Structure 1
């Protein structure tokens, strides 16, 4: 009986203890649950809501995408959100990659899935292609063609008063050998009057060579065109002085090609260029004049003044003439000293017009004025038109390549949507039609721009042709009057 009583008592105590434990837990559990609901639940709501906010924002931006209808809108086309960092070469490749969505397919799929859930409208779905996959090169290739300006070397057509002013030195002759040296250092990449200095200098050099080449043998050297302006390339840039048009009679097409191939890149080895001229001229006879177009002083640690002295030492029929193009006072002083040491003259040109006028009016002997009038002819029917037409064609072709790259991505995106069952076959067909229509529209705008630039070339040719014809008529009338 005692054992039984103890057993019953033990069971009763265990039961009461268990009840007591349950009661405590029941008191604590609601408090714990309340804490979780108070802290955790709102966070979960925010986490679930955040993607919805992003997708809603993206959908609003997609709906606002402007499909280009004009050349100006084409030029300002937005880069795709997933393609904006794609390299220019990839975006304008003539042979686009077969895997157009490499590296972005997973992310694109999620974005397109969200767009498809939000709407079945194929107009908006097509805009989502532009929004996410638009070509990142449009804002470069289209403005490049828009900015193209035809540039034919302007003739120098002297008026009678200019001829009479120079009668005292009319017998001055051109040198038998004219060595032209063109600075192609990195500073020539800067702009003057809205145009790159290198482009302006090339045109001036071509004009001069065409004129002086009527009586003189012509050579063209370039310096500063190798390497880059970085320290690692200094030795290469400073050591390469290259003759791109060997000393010979002037040939317009060959000279044009030689000049056109020069690109401004690196340092300024002016002393090295003068040393090179001295070296190659040791075996030459006759009078030699160096004609240097530069926008800065020596940057390769040489001594151009000393080199100029060496070039003319013991030679009365040698000169170093320099035009400083948009040069600051400090660098101008060095160039002046170089010209003086080289028994020549220094001229300053601060802008495009001054450079072109100085090249022709100061470097060309007045005795050549009659020859110049005969030498200069209309650009009509010349290779120079073909050359500029070809530049326009190349830029337009680059735009076409970019259009093809973009279209390929759009088609692949439509396939992804179908495979992932975001759209039906019918919706895909409508999207493909929109992709084709978009391509045709962009090619139409490209064609319009190309045609516009060709017309500008023709207009410039006609302007110069008319200018030459008007001058020739005036000169003929003056000759007739002088005969009376």
Structure 2
């Protein structure tokens, strides 16, 4: 019995020891499983990176170029750095170490030169392409078209009532609200075009000056005093001269508050030393925001002067703003006109502000735009935009070449691979430059086409006017 009892106890002890041993083996299994999961995750990550790199679209069209994605390591690089005319010699400064590790991983997965080339675009492609290419791609030639009225639009009565003033003072609102869009175009750009057209036309009979307000500081409270106290004459009162006026308008940028009262007061102060008829022409997209009283200033401008008035166009204004602008025009013995969109602004400027008595002069003044300063200026803008794209390409090319040298120095690619990779980089740069040149030529042609359209419009109108005059003389 004692022997049997000992045997049973011995068996239980062995069983307990066996049970105790099992938990000791489980951690080893867990470690193996965890290592296996990590390996699988690394493989998935590597596969994911290669998949993303292989999906990189190499630009073959202008649209592809404009929609280029910035590199993962260069997406935060500034526009100025990415389009520098004289790029830094240290092309990989700040990202070389991180880039090398990424390229090491890629080179460890593939020795395909095409994929290595795509990895350069993926990691260090130029971040400025979307902005700089789209700027040229979306460019539209817009000339200040002539006012070519039909004879029935003019009567002797309207000619006498709307004679051109001897002096025209134009005031352009450049407050921050002019940065907003109407009909998909910035209000400031639309207003500039309308003002240029008007000045060119009225300038054939009147001396012209241009004042701007709201262009200083910003719309923030800290800049209110600066913005409200800055009213500048950018084109002094004189005979109209196209190049000077164009440059004066072109340099205006919308920024701050709306000192309408201050602008009218400035015109009053200047007018004290002037003789003859003076009309103040204001294009504004809002009411006073500088705590002034534009109604009182308009009254002072015309007080005791029958030959002075204030004409206002409210461009895309709400009811409250319109009511104030109407009251200002009324106080200034002038007229208020509303323009809700691009077409209304341009037509109102010409049809309501241009005196009908200028029709014969207009016919001579509005000659073909061919060979004019405006065309040359626009062509120059196209070349500047194309050059900026070329600068961006050169910056990217330098970075790619630097990366190829790093890969070779780190032993990630062979000399033969480096040679082939550099060939791909040069081919890429040449392709982008060809696309840029194609786009530049396309835009230059659009300018020529628009010039020819306007030229034909003027010639057709002139022929009809001559025919009508001939018929009336018979």
TM-score normalised to structure 2 length: 0.94
How many angstroms apart in 1 are the aligned matches of 2:449 and 2:385?
20
How many angstroms does 1:53 deviate by? Answer: 2.2
Aligned to 2:221: 231
What are the within-5 Å matches in structure 2 for residues 10-89 of structure 1?
A: 30=21, 33-89=24-80
By how many angstroms is 1:458 displaced? 0.1
1:277 aligns with 2:267: yes
- With 174-183 and 366-375 compared, the bigger mean Cα shift is at 366-375
Count of residue pairs brought into register by the alignment: 460
Q: What do the CA deviations read for 1:244-274 (whole angstroms, capped 9, x no partner)?
A: 0001111011101111111111111111111
Q: Which moved more, 1:45-54 or 1:473-482?
A: 45-54
Residue by residue over 1:354-392, the C-alpha shift from the partner in whole angstroms, topping out at 9 and shown as x without a partner, is: 111111111111111111111111101101111100111
1:51: how far off?
3.4
C-alpha separation between the residues in 2 aligned to 1:215 and 1:450?
39
Q: 1:427 to 1:305 in 2, by over 3 A?
A: same
Aligned to 1:390: 380
Q: Distance in 2 between matches of 1:279 and 1:215?
A: 24
2:82 is the alignment partner of 1:91: yes
CA pair 93-33 structure 1, distance change in 2 beyond 3 A: farther
Question: 1:31 Cα deviation (Å)?
Answer: 5.5
> 2:422 corresponds to which residue?
432
Distance of 1:310 and 1:370 partners within structure 2: 35
Deviations 1:165-194 (A, max 9, x none): x33122232111100000111111111112
CA distance in 2, matches of 1:404, 1:266: 37
Q: What is aligned with 1:299? A: 289
C-alpha deviation, 1:33, in angstroms: 3.8
Structure 1 Cα separation of the partners of residues 260 and 282 of structure 2: 9
Is 1:155 aligned with 2:124?
no
Residues of 2 paired with 1:231 and 1:49: CA distance? 57
SS in 1 for 2:272: helix
Counterparts of 2:427 and 2:320 in 1: how far apart (Å)? 59
Residue 143, structure 1, aligned to residue 149, structure 2: no
Report the 3-state secondary structure (helix = DSSP H, G, I; strand = E; otherwise coil) of the residue aligned with 2:222.
helix
Match of 1:8 in 2: none
Deviates more, 1:368-377 or 1:455-464: 368-377
The equivalences for 1:114-133 within 5 A come to 114-133=105-124
Q: Which has the larger radius of gyration?
A: 1
> What SS class does the counterpart of residue 289 from structure 1 fall into?
strand
Deviation at 1:231, TM superposition (A): 1.9
1:196 is displaced (CA, Å) by 1.2
- Deviation of the 1:29 alpha carbon: 8.6
Describe the superposition over 1:78-106 as per-residue Cα deviations: whole angstroms up to 9, x where unpaired: 11111111111111111111112122111
Whether 2:94 is the aligned partner of 1:103: answer: yes
- How far apart in 2 are the matches of 1:275 and 1:30? 98
Secondary structure of 2:217 counterpart: coil
Equivalent in 210, 215, 237 of residue 200 of structure 2: 210
CA distance in 1, matches of 2:231, 2:19: 89
- Does residue 1:363 correspond to 2:386, yes or no? no
Where structure 2 has 5 or more consecutive residues not aligned to the other structure, the ranges are 1-13
5 Å matches for 1:284-363? 284-363=274-353
**Which of 151, 158, 168 in structure 2 is aligned with 1:169?**
158
Instruction: Name the counterpart of 1:9.
Output: none
Q: How far apart are 1:132 and its partner, in Å?
A: 0.5
Shift of 1:37: 2.6
Q: Residue in 2 aligned with 1:14?
A: none
Moved more, 228-237 or 118-127: 228-237
Task: Name which of 420, 423, 431 aligns with 2:413.
Answer: 423
In structure 2, relative to structure 1, the CA distance for the partners of 1:398 and 1:30 (3 Å cut) is farther
CA distance in 1 between partners of 2:24 and 2:222 (Å): 67
Give TM-score, length-normalised by structure 1. Answer: 0.92
Counterpart among 155, 178, 200 of residue 168 in structure 2: 178
Q: Which has the larger displacement, 34-43 or 306-315?
A: 34-43
Corresponding residue to 1:221 among 211, 224, 243: 211
Identify the residue that residue 431 of structure 2 maps to in structure 1: 441
| CA RMSD in angstroms, aligned pairs only | 1.8
1: CA distance, partners of 2:53 / 2:367: 56
Q: Which runs of 5+ in 1 are unaligned?
A: 1-22
Q: In structure 2, how many angstroms separate the alpha carbons of the residues matched to 1:38 and 1:299?
A: 75
